[in-house]
């Protein structure tokens, strides 16, 4: 066991209200390419042209053809990986309380996590722009584009598109959780995009320990993180959960499990 993992495990094992902040990096091992950064989807597709609410309002068919059909296919096939499963185990152990995710893939819920704040909404559901009805994306056929509700209204993914704002309730609850958690586990996000970027700062200022798992060092690594575990989220999360269990056994005896 390497030293930083042991340090992170000791920190988390003593916690009762950890908040996880996750991003694209946790879903890469599930086959979902990132949107931002090098090689990301936004290098190939102009988000202002195809992921903006105004673009969708003007020509929903074009947005489905260029972007959403591809997303529906990729996200429909994706399954949770060891990173998502590890967070579920931490919740089961009474350590993790809530996940705040920037992802729209619904994989935390698929892994079993119960309290998930989806900052950017979810592609798992489609919402009617006329009557507000929500449908499971798997049940929506794409024989005609854009897909429509039984009422005739145009369906849209239940995601936050460019030009839209994160619901105030989610934002306020996330800020409150960041200010009151005993540790924040940042997984697969460099946390450079607002408003998610501010959450580790709030947590740190409020006295929480910051544990980071990322494929490469990020701006958080030097200034904010108490422990940074650099590598693939799935592999590291698996090792971390095993180490936390070990620490708990040593501290409380095997009877706790």
DSSP annotation string for 66-132: IIIHHHHHHHHH----HHHHHHHHHHHTT-EEEEEE---S-HHHHHT---EEETTEEEEEEEETTT-
Does residue 131 belong to the site contacting Zn ion (CB under 5 A)?
yes
Does residue 128 belong to the site contacting Zn ion (CB under 5 A)?
yes
**Region from 37-45, 85-93, 144-152, 248-256 binding Zn ion, contact rule CB under 5 A:** 144-152
Q: Is 134 or 205 the residue whose CB approaches Zn ion more closely?
A: 134
Does residue 238 belong to the site contacting Zn ion (CB under 5 A)?
no
65 DSSP assignment: I
**Region from 72-80, 131-139, 173-181, 203-211 binding Zn ion, contact rule CB under 5 A:** 131-139
Q: Is 152 or 253 the residue whose CB approaches Zn ion more closely?
A: 152
Distance of alpha carbon 206 from alpha carbon 181, whole angstroms: 8
Does residue 133 belong to the site contacting Zn ion (CB under 5 A)?
yes
Whether 22 and 102 have beta carbons less than 8 Å apart is answered as: yes
Q: Is 128 or 159 the residue whose CB approaches Zn ion more closely?
A: 128
Going 125 to 127 to 131 to 132, the CA torsion angle's sign is: positive
Indicate if 108 belongs to the active site: no
**Region from 42-50, 101-109, 128-136, 242-250 binding Zn ion, contact rule CB under 5 A:** 128-136
* R_g of the chain, CA atoms, integer Å: 19
DSSP annotation string for 33-54: --SSSTT-HHHHS-HHHHSBHH
Q: Is 47 or 153 the residue whose CB approaches Zn ion more closely?
A: 153
Whether 5 and 243 have beta carbons less than 8 Å apart is answered as: yes
Closest by CA to 237, choosing from 2, 17, 26, 15, is: 26
Q: Is 175 helix (H, G, I), strand (E, B) or coil?
A: helix
**Region from 15-23, 101-109, 125-133, 202-210 binding Zn ion, contact rule CB under 5 A:** 125-133
Q: Of 145-184, which residues contact Zn ion (CB under 5 A)?
A: 149, 151, 153
The interface mask with Zn ion, positions 70-89, x = CB under 5 A, is --------------------
How many residues at the interface with Zn ion, by CB under 5 A?
Answer: 7
Whether 183 and 11 have beta carbons less than 8 Å apart is answered as: yes
Active-site choice (89, 120, 169, 252): 120
Q: Is 153 or 163 the residue whose CB approaches Zn ion more closely?
A: 153
Tokens of 253: 């005896």
Does residue 134 belong to the site contacting Zn ion (CB under 5 A)?
no
CB of 131 to Zn ion, least distance (A): 3
**Which positions are catalytic?**
120
Residues near Zn ion (CB under 5 A): 128, 130-131, 133, 149, 151, 153
């Amino acid at each position: 066991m390497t030293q930083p993992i042991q340090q992170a495990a000791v920190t988390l094992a003593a916690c009762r209200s950890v908040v996880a902040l996750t991003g694209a990096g946790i879903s890469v091992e599930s086959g979902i390419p990132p949107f931002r950064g090098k090689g990301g989807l936004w290098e190939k597709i102009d988000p202002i042209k195809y992921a903006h609410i105004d673009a969708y309002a003007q020509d929903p068919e074009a947005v489905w053809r260029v972007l959403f059909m591809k997303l529906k296919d990729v996200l429909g096939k994706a399954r949770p990986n060891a990173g998502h499963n590890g967070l579920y185990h931490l919740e089961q152990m009474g350590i993790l309380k809530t996940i705040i995710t920037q992802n729209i893939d619904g994989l935390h819920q698929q892994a079993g996590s119960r309290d998930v704040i989806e900052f950017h909404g979810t592609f798992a559901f489609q919402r009617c722009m006329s009557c507000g009805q929500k449908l499971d994306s798997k049940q929506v056929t794409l024989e005609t584009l854009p897909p429509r509700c039984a009422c005739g209204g145009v369906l849209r993914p239940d995601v936050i598109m460019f030009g839209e704002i994160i619901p105030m309730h989610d934002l306020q609850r996330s800020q409150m959780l960041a200010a009151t958690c005993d540790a924040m586990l940042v997984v697969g996000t460099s946390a450079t995009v607002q408003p998610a970027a501010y959450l580790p700062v709030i947590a740190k200022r409020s006295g929480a320990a910051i544990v980071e798992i990322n494929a490469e060092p990020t701006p958080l690594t030097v200034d904010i993180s108490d422990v940074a575990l650099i590598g693939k989220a799935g592999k590291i999360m698996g090792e971390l959960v095993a180490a936390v269990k070990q620490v708990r056994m040593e501290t409380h005896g095997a009877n706790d499990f």
